[in-house]
Amino acid sequence: MKYLLIVLIFMLGGCNLTPCIDVGQPGKSVHYDTIYDTVFVFADNIRELNELKLELQCLKDSVYILNSSVPWDVYDNARKIEKIKYYISITERNAKNKTFFYGWIKRTMTD
């Protein structure tokens, strides 16, 4: 919708645009005769632009967290291996626990 408004203003006004604010230089009013590969933001849309910047930063943070976290199946398998190592150490310390060892392993693999 914003782009449609900008195109309509451009078409009605010819090649000249109304005074606007360049994104790179907030607060500086400039009059442009031609349009290059530049994004123009009108003064009343600055607040909305700042909200979009904050939302974009939040999404970037979410993607970073998602990409840098360990997948659940990898974590679950590592946890099971650590439990099995613990049961092995218990069994090595006391040979009487060999009777329980199979049950511990079975319980670990079903969790």
pLDDT per residue over 76-94, tens digit each?
A: 999 999 999 999 999 999 9
Same-domain pairing of 81 and 61? no
Count how many domains the chain has.
Answer: 2
- The tens digit of pLDDT for each residue in 43-55 reads 667 788 888 888 8
53 and 78 housed in the same domain:
no
Which structural domain, as residue segments, surrounds residue 102? 72-110
Q: Are residues 63 and 80 in the same domain?
A: no
In this structure, are 79 and 26 located in the same domain? no
If you write DSSP's letter for every residue of the chain in order, what string do you get? -HHHHHHHHHHHTTTPPPSEEETTSTT-EE--SS--S--EE-GGGHHHHHHHHHHHHHHHHHHHHHHHSPPHHHHHHHHHHHHHHHHHHHHHH-GGGHHHHHHHHHHHHH-
Longest dimension (CA), the chain: 92
Q: Please report the pLDDT score of residue 26 as a whole number.
A: 54
Residues 60 and 101 in one domain: no
To the question of pTM greater than 0.75 for the whole model, the response is no
